């Protein structure tokens, strides 16, 4: 007999700093594509990356069957603990380009919300599986009106 699958969702917020840069492009091209997110200043000729910050919001939806004894897919407290350990501790009040693997010292991997989602999926997936549920969808807001969503799909 098949069991119903229910999705549950938890959100967390964190503050982090970053800049966007492609080392294969010169300063002008980086400024043209990433604009002020490049960390370059039009009025400052030095090749210095000034970081800027975001108040990120992450929404995580997992799915699983409802345990007959608890009535839970996963206790929200357990899910919160996973998000704190896997996400918050790695990203909150971090300068992502300098402190957080795999972005740290890897300028070829831009710290966009799209790439952050791919990394967050890898961090979360095994932890959610250990609790006998499955990751379904993650959405990351960089600003209140700009966000990206990933469901683990590959082309």
Residue nearest Zn ion, Cβ-based: 37
CB of 107 to Zn ion, least distance (A): 15
CB of 124 to Zn ion, least distance (A): 22
Site string for Zn ion, 25-44 (x = CB under 5 A): ------------x-------
Instruction: Look at the block and give the residue holding tokens 């594509």.
Output: 33
CB of 93 to Zn ion, least distance (A): 15
Site string for Zn ion, 95-114 (x = CB under 5 A): --------------------
Minimum CB distance to Zn ion smaller for 86 or for 142: 142
Minimum CB distance to Zn ion smaller for 20 or for 79: 20
CB of 58 to Zn ion, least distance (A): 15
The set of long-range contacts for 109-113, using a CB threshold of 8 Å and a minimum separation of 24, is 110/20, 110/21, 110/22, 111/18, 111/19, 111/20, 112/20, 112/148, 113/140, 113/141, 113/142, 113/146, 113/147, 113/148
The per-residue b/e assignment along 38-57, b for 16 or more CB within 10 angstroms, e otherwise, is: bbbeeeeeeeebeeeebebb
Minimum CB distance to Zn ion smaller for 37 or for 83: 37
Q: How many residues bind Zn ion (CB under 5 A)?
A: 1
Minimum CB distance to Zn ion smaller for 96 or for 135: 96
* Interacting residues toward Zn ion by CB under 5 A: 37
């Amino acid at each position: 007999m098949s069991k119903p699958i229910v999705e549950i969702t938890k959100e967390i917020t964190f503050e982090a700093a970053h800049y966007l840069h492609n080392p294969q492009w010169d300063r002008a091209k980086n400024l043209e594509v990433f604009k002020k997110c490049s960390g370059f200043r039009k009025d400052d000729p030095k090749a210095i990356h000034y970081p800027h910050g975001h108040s990120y919001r992450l929404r995580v939806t997992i799915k699983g069957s409802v345990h007959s004894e608890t009535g839970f897919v996963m206790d929200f407290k357990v899910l919160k603990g996973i998000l704190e350990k896997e996400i918050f501790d790695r990203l909150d009040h971090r300068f992502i380009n300098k402190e957080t693997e795999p972005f740290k010292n890897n300028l070829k991997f831009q710290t966009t919300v799209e790439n952050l989602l791919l990394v967050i999926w890898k961090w979360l997936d095994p932890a959610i599986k250990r609790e006998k549920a499955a990751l379904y969808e993650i959405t990351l807001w960089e600003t209140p009106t700009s966000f990206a969503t990933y469901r683990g799909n590959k082309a």
